[in-house]
Structure 1
């Protein structure tokens, strides 16, 4: 049944009123107690996804830890010590095979250069404790007795201390305390593996290879994240001293690498601490964090928990993402989908630090402004005092790629939260809340969150500065809308009282959706966020406002038209569609159809929230804005001659003109469900989508029409390749808005949906099966994955598509 918009508005107001009444009745619920339990279950995680293995708590300025390793059968490979995930590393299969933020998961790294397959099992234990099991196995073709050196390290990045302690001549552990963790210890336990024998070279200090080697020393807090460089420098210095002392001229004169490249067993007091282990062949050892008041978990407990976590992940995956035909029978599709989701989920990071912000906008709004050729050097701007280091902030966020983009991207995050929210609603809200905490007094959020020196080390200098007038598509509204849909479906039959105040793993299923099971928490969350969302919304309307005063434009509203700021001749990074063709030359007369589409969707979602909270005046204002935007979408951007939505600008005589490049920009009104099901414009756009000479390819909808003169040119980033986030939006909109609604477009929409769904799933699956990799984009002519590899950000939306969870 299709309800009128009036009925929907009334329903929302009634629902909001019911929740407000419920809020009053449940005022005695202990919301703080609930939040404490939820926070404890999320405290620890592999929240350093820029590293191959990095564990930290979800709080700023606390304990940081990580693992490094290298083959030490010779000296050559040690300089390639594994620590940070790097794009050019000789790595085969890499990623999480299972992961749950409240339980833990398994990661597999096939290190081709080092000849070792590394499996890491991270598990959560009671009382905010955790364990990491490290299992190394020689890869096929590598020597079965290859030698591997591993270095576990930790340091306190803030108030507190950490020291090395000894329990025997062969064993050390770490002991420390921080305000948020209290007193704790970190132990390591060898479970399996042999050690190399010593060479017996005279004048070397006594070497027993089955013991822990260690080192600790103080270091500047701004440099401590460079742990691999510190370790390499330390051991290189040791080699030089040894060479000079023993008059060794070449590497051949030195003892075996595994014997020389050992830490010097210097405690060093409070600071950065290392524990080293050396194994021959296969090995297993555990790293266990436990608070000082609790007993260390046994090997049997860890093994049992790992087994339970594997089973629980697969079971829950099938419940949350039940694959639909034709992917529901082949186990290989299940494994593929699980791997995709686990890597999105396991790659959530907690980042902290300052960021570089320009003191002035990138683009003054004056007619004589000469548009930029490119962005400026961050170092240069800091030197000339036109940029500054903003205050330190922290952010919980999923990332697009561990090796290439290990930081927060505003435009990506809304897509990331769609599958995460289905699995763990409240964790997705933690991320959403974290992003909105970045909204400054003006309402701005930087499009890239490059927080601290470690994050900046992965970003070219010219892209490090964030500008206070640069936007990005407000995709967080997609996650907000999905949350509201879950609220609408909730029946409120269970309360926190059913769980009790003592947290246990059995409570996890409930902890994932506490906020939708408790009306008080739902309302509290939205009431806290709503002012920030409105401030952010008004920032968009103010800073991205199009010019209606200089040029005559015939439109319903002389307000609702928008232009992305920060365009250059070749790029519009703010739009997220970096090199997608726009008007040439750039002009401040432009109005961008994709930005107006995003603003309409933003307005619509905010209206839902206002109605839910009973904010009648705000809901009415947003309703009027939405109506004006929808009218202007047609008045300003529909080109009758080209039969598509286009950007708008003016010609040399200052007369209005359209700038038409058929592709993703043209499709945004459809993607965001802004067109009525019976719209003739929808019919035209559906035919354009299905036209093989335009946007249709056997691998998905291409980003730019095959007929466009810019197709495949220059950088060719968004000028033809297939992107999964945009194909997801097309499929999602067809599924939610058009294929289930009787009318003139239902049949065509359904046939496109069914064929397109098969095409995009097969594209990603076939590439994964061939390479073991998820790619950033796919060639629309060959279907081959390309650009950034291990891109398990929004490419993971393939899981939603396979299970039809839109």
Structure 2
């Protein structure tokens, strides 16, 4: 008979100790992890059914799964999160809950957590599978989770597992509810985090269900899906389908234990998998609690905090109160943002040579970008800091913890094996001269507004200040232009695209000067606010804003717009070319382009570069035709202003750098209304621009060339609201107020309509249709819909 023990909960530690455990594996559908370093413990969920090939077992978030929807609907970033996953192929709805048991009022355990996975059929039980399986695993990890890392050998020293075999629960259940239970114990004499106890219960109606388990030294969080598949077996002599059935054994050197709940959904209903986990220094087992009351309390606590920070019930849109549906959409956007915060570790011996310390960061997209991005993070924290400033400050500390002694912070943090295996190898290397817009300064500026009177915040800011100054000085020295007080984004070079990208700017394929050169000038924008944000007595910083603002007007204001300057052709043409493969002396291939007529006439060798002079063949487009590519043929190339009307042209306005009495205010607003304002939001590039919606290369769809991006619409609304209140001219104030109201209404409708229609928030939105585009769910800066609704800028 299984013993019942008392739940041991350790006292609440410091505020950041509340973050010891969380749903920090952002790229997993339901992944839990400790923030301990370098040793840590992960836990996670996988599932499959006989409705699809067993190789499609679900673990990592991916668009290929084609779920109806998934994402956090409630999440407070520390103690509680709820998520709904609608898996249409397997006819399963999974409602996952993560919580930390409450100790007392407003106090929660820092060393224990619980989860509940409830599974119900979709579509009123139509098309149910013959067999469903849920898998929940516990993984003892170290460093960056590389399965081959030598640190895994250290785990095995004196590590011991004890598995209490599955059996019927001894606690009384509600009428008609069956219960299976098992317990897992891990112990290690020297590594504290590897000492834990967990109790798993499966509740269900019906009797045809089983709990199975397996543990192996070659399995961890990185390869658990692939390794679990090795136990796929034929279901019967007459069936070719495979089904996983774990062998009920744990190897002596296992570092990962997986529990499988297997059942027939046609005969078993109301399935709930309960997991209660606790760290422990002595042997005990936590009891499973029916968490209905706890979860209900946590739901109310989240809603109360959300409503306090974002009082949407008192907010109006177009003169009307917000609907409950729209408020729930806002809660889902915010919850998916804060619930998407993860912890990422890169080992010192890996590709990056920045600090091997963990990075605690929100992510743009759990399915496509489950890793940290520097300029995204500034926008992420604009959405989080009002709700929980402690989380924001800790995120900022982690980002500056990755800074090297020169002040360089890698713009894209591909840390750890889970992240690295999803990114092509050529993108793993970061360049120490390439920057990203320092949007964390916007977050710090807003923190000062919200937390300025707090002694704890002032102490934190004082500690951070030297790093901020070092970072700023790195920007000054590495991104400086050829003319004093000008700046140029590094990393632009000819790369065979229609227009060379400017990844460092954050605007990727936004059209800049047609020919990259050292003479380019890109606006200083965010940096010009440094004196206000740093708030230091140095005369050097005090004078910077004036200096940069003057430079901005003198060297970027042209033809009533703020423009780039560089080596540019404004009168070139676009030609359609055929992509061909050319070979070098050793047979290595390279792609080149050739006019269609030249290919038809023969002599294609002339189109190959001297390094690869031999023509091999034209490339196909995969549809029976030839692969075509547009090539820009410049005519007059000279140093001049680069006249493209788009987001870049209005950054000084969006960042509120234009004086309130400037005669530029009505001019800029007129251009926005004429070129960027669409029925769905502000587009990134004017439809009259020659680069509008032009792809940069085959398969390289336009990115910042017309589509609507929420981060820039947020900044625009922030500035419109500011000038609507502060512009010296009443006429200008009215014009900005009117545009603000129109844009706020349209951008909210665009995002909420698509969320209602598709179940997802998107990376960008089409400026002609309002439809969501690119990756989903994208609950990074798109979650700023909450701030826009609450008018919290």
TM-score by length of 1: 0.78
Task: Quickly say closer, same or farther: Cα 1:61–1:254, change in 2 above 3 A.
Answer: farther
* Match of residue 228, structure 2, among 215, 228, 231: 231
* Match of residue 590, structure 1, among 495, 520, 523: 520
Q: Say whether 1:317 aligns with 2:306.
A: yes
Contact 2:434 2:489 in 1 (8 A): yes
* Match of residue 285, structure 1, among 273, 278, 286: 273
Aligned to 1:64: 41
Aligned to 1:336: 329
Alignment gaps of 5+ in structure 1: 1-33, 197-208, 244-249, 358-386, 491-515, 549-558, 611-615
Contact 2:568 2:642 in 1 (8 A): no
Deviation at 1:55, TM superposition (A): 0.4
CA distance in 2 between counterparts of 1:651 and 1:448 reads 29
CA deviation profile, 1:241-282 (whole Å, cap 9, x unmatched):
xx7xxxxxx964469855x62334234344121121112333
* Match of residue 748, structure 1, among 735, 739, 742: 735
CA distance in 2 between counterparts of 1:255 and 1:169 reads 30
Task: Quickly say closer, same or farther: Cα 1:235–1:416, change in 2 above 3 A.
Answer: same
CA deviation profile, 1:474-529 (whole Å, cap 9, x unmatched):
000011001100134x4xxxxxxxxxxxxxxxxxxxxxxxxx3xx1x223211221
CA distance in 2 between counterparts of 1:127 and 1:321 reads 27
CA deviation profile, 1:18-66 (whole Å, cap 9, x unmatched):
xxxxxxxxxxxxxxxx994202212111000110111011222333333
Contact 1:664 1:703 in 2 (8 A): yes
Aligned to 1:156: 140
Secondary structure of the equivalent of 2:368? Answer: coil
Contact 1:163 1:271 in 2 (8 A): no
CA distance in 1 between counterparts of 2:221 and 2:427 reads 24
Contact 2:25 2:33 in 1 (8 A): yes
CA distance in 1 between counterparts of 2:205 and 2:407 reads 56
Deviation at 1:81, TM superposition (A): 0.5
Query: If each structure's helix is expressed as a fraction of its own residues, which one has the higher value?
Result: 1
* Match of residue 646, structure 1, among 546, 563, 579: 563
CA deviation profile, 1:513-550 (whole Å, cap 9, x unmatched):
xxx3xx1x2232112211111111111000001012xx
TM-score by length of 2: 0.79
CA distance in 2 between counterparts of 1:61 and 1:192 reads 38
Q: Say whether 1:440 aligns with 2:404.
A: yes
Task: Quickly say closer, same or farther: Cα 1:741–1:644, change in 2 above 3 A.
Answer: closer
CA distance in 2 between counterparts of 1:673 and 1:77 reads 55
Task: Quickly say closer, same or farther: Cα 1:633–1:769, change in 2 above 3 A.
Answer: same
Q: Say whether 1:566 aligns with 2:491.
A: yes
Secondary structure of the equivalent of 1:278? Answer: strand
Q: Say whether 1:531 aligns with 2:478.
A: no
Aligned to 1:663: 646
CA distance in 1 between counterparts of 2:352 and 2:658 reads 44
Q: Say whether 1:780 aligns with 2:763.
A: no
Aligned to 2:70: 94
Secondary structure of the equivalent of 1:273? Answer: strand
- The two structures, once aligned, show a CA RMSD in angstroms of 2.5
Deviation at 1:392, TM superposition (A): 2.4
Aligned to 1:577: 507
Aligned to 1:761: 748
Aligned to 1:274: 258
Contact 2:31 2:45 in 1 (8 A): no
Deviation at 1:793, TM superposition (A): 0.4
Task: Quickly say closer, same or farther: Cα 1:603–1:710, change in 2 above 3 A.
Answer: farther
CA distance in 1 between counterparts of 2:760 and 2:525 reads 33
Deviation at 1:778, TM superposition (A): 0.7
* Match of residue 604, structure 1, among 532, 536, 542: 532
CA distance in 2 between counterparts of 1:673 and 1:149 reads 55
Deviation at 1:300, TM superposition (A): 4.2
Deviation at 1:93, TM superposition (A): 1.5
Contact 2:520 2:564 in 1 (8 A): yes
* Match of residue 38, structure 1, among 12, 15, 31: 15
Deviation at 1:317, TM superposition (A): 1.4
CA distance in 2 between counterparts of 1:56 and 1:580 reads 38
* Match of residue 730, structure 1, among 700, 703, 716: 716
Query: If each structure's strand is expressed as a fraction of its own residues, which one has the higher value?
Result: 2
Alignment gaps of 5+ in structure 2: 1-10, 102-108, 143-153, 168-181, 495-499, 570-635, 696-700
CA deviation profile, 1:162-201 (whole Å, cap 9, x unmatched):
64423346434132357454732122112334453xxxxx
Contact 1:704 1:718 in 2 (8 A): yes
Task: Quickly say closer, same or farther: Cα 1:329–1:656, change in 2 above 3 A.
Answer: closer
Deviation at 1:624, TM superposition (A): 1.1
CA distance in 2 between counterparts of 1:783 and 1:255 reads 45
For these two proteins, the number of residue pairs brought into alignment is 661
CA distance in 1 between counterparts of 2:37 and 2:67 reads 31
CA distance in 1 between counterparts of 2:501 and 2:718 reads 28
CA distance in 1 between counterparts of 2:686 and 2:349 reads 37
Secondary structure of the equivalent of 2:250? Answer: coil
CA distance in 1 between counterparts of 2:746 and 2:568 reads 40
